[in-house]
Structure 1
Amino acid sequence: MAAPGWYVYVLQCADGSLYTGVARDLHKRLRQHNGDLAGGPKYTSGRRPVSLLWSESAADRSSAQQREAAIKRLPRCEKLALVAR
C-alpha cells in the first residue's frame, strides 16, 4: 500500500486572518490547530477556532512546500479567489 500523500491547506482563523500550511494527515493537523491535540503552531493558538477553507493534494513534501510558498506570496484577495474555486 502506498504511503498517504501530502496536502496544502488554507485555514481561516477566528480573527479573519488566513493561514497556509502543509500536512500529511489533514484531519489531525486541523485538530492540532484548534487545540484538540498537542502540536499546533503559535499563530493559530491565539486565533481559535480555525476552519478549513481549502485543501489540495500534493505528490510529495517538496511539491507541497513549494505550493505552500507560492500561496503565501499571493495577496489576500488572490488567496480568497483561490479558496472560492
Structure 2
Amino acid sequence: MRGGWVYILTNRPNGTLYVGVTNDLVRRVWEHRQGSADGFTKRYGLTKLVYFEDHTEIALAIQREKAIKHWSRAWKARLILDTNPQWRDLYEDIIT
C-alpha cells in the first residue's frame, strides 16, 4: 500500500486553515494553487503550504488528518509554529 501526506494550507499567517490528505503532495498542492477544483480552498484563496507530514501508509495519513481536523485552531497553529514559525510557504521546498 502507498504512503500518504497530511498537509495544512493557509492564505496568510494566522489566516484560514485547511487540513488535507493526499498520496502525491506536490501534485495536490499544485492543484490547490491553480484553483483547479471548486471548493473551500479556492473560495478562500488557500494556496500557501505551511505544514506537511508524511506517513508510510495512506490509512495512517487519513487517520491523522481526521484527528487534526477535530483539533482546536490553537492546536493547529501550534503544530505549524513548531516547525514553521514564520508561516513560510513550503511549496518551493517540496518541488526541489
Structures share a fold, TM > 0.5?
Answer: yes
RMSD, aligned α-carbons: 2.1
What is the alpha-carbon distance in structure 1 between the residues aligned to residue 47 and residue 3 of structure 2? 23
Structure 1 segments of 4+ aligned residues over 2 angstroms from their partners: none
Question: Can you list the C-alpha shifts for 1:6-65, whole angstroms capped at 9, x where unaligned?
Answer: 1000111359210000111111111111226x4x35111112251011100011111001
1:82 aligns with 2:83: no
What is the alpha-carbon distance in structure 1 between the residues aligned to residue 63 and residue 46 of structure 2? 27
1:67 aligns with 2:55: no
- Corresponding position of 1:34: 33
- In structure 1, list runs of 5 or more residues that go unmatched: none
Q: Aligned residues: percent identity?
A: 32
What is the alpha-carbon distance in structure 2 between the residues aligned to residue 83 and residue 43 of structure 1? 20
What is the alpha-carbon distance in structure 2 between the residues aligned to residue 77 and residue 68 of structure 1? 16
Aligned residues: 81
Q: Secondary structure at the match of 1:11?
A: strand
- In structure 2, list runs of 5 or more residues that go unmatched: 83-96
> CA offset at residue 5 of structure 1?
2.3
TM-score, normalization: structure 1? 0.82
TM-score, normalization: structure 2? 0.74
Q: Secondary structure at the match of 2:34?
A: coil
Greater percentage in helix: 2
